[in-house]
Amino acid sequence: MKRFLTLIAATAALGLAGLAYAGGPEDQTGAQPSPAEQRSMPSTDPTTPYATDPSAMAQSSVSTLQSTRLAAIVPSGMSTQEACAGFRNVEECAATLHASQNLNIAFPDLKSRVTGGTKLGTAIHQLKPDANVKAEVRKAEEQARSDTRSPQG
């Protein structure tokens, strides 16, 4: 019985500590965090190493891919980070790069359509109407998965 009560007390203490850390109902006033609280909050600045913004995470993933096969297909005069800026994730960027290379479509033209909200297949059809869109999208996406997959070993 004593162990059971100790377990309940410990659980309650952890629950209260979690509420205090997360902020209870009294913190829902919309007040701005203090400078000390801001320093302890995760950053959304993509230049910080612990950024939590999805686009920042994609950019940090891109930096790790600069020395991989993906860097080999980025148009000359452009870094991998520049090429992938604006995409939702690295795989979407890689698929667009591969489609551009496979079909001899200017990457900036294809990128502007895809990052503007057009699906890759639709963008390919708009820029190269005679292409077999389904097959080309499938091929580019498979190549992208291959490029972005961690090495097996």
> C-alpha distances in angstroms, 129 versus 70, 105, 133?
26, 11, 8
If one compares 97 and 148, the residue with the highest pLDDT of the two is 97
Is 64 part of any domain?
A: yes
Is 34 part of any domain?
A: no
Is 38 part of any domain?
A: no
If one compares 124 and 80, the residue with the highest pLDDT of the two is 124
- Where is average pLDDT lowest: 9-13, 20-24, 129-133? 20-24
Is 49 part of any domain?
A: no
Is 29 part of any domain?
A: no
Is 132 part of any domain?
A: yes
**For the chain, what percentages of helix, strand and coil (3-state, to nearest 5) are there?**
65, 0, 35
- Cβ burial 5-27 (10 Å sphere, 16+ → b, else e): eeeeeeeeeeeeeeeeeeeeeee
Tokens 């891109």 belong to: 62
Number of compact structural domains in the chain: 1
User: Which residue range forms the structural domain that includes residue 100?
Assistant: 54-148
Whether the predicted model's global pTM rises above the 0.75 cut: no
Residue 8: band (very low, low, confident or very high) from pLDDT cuts 50, 70, 90: low
Is 116 part of any domain?
A: yes
Is 75 part of any domain?
A: yes
Tell me: pLDDT of 41 over 50. Answer: no
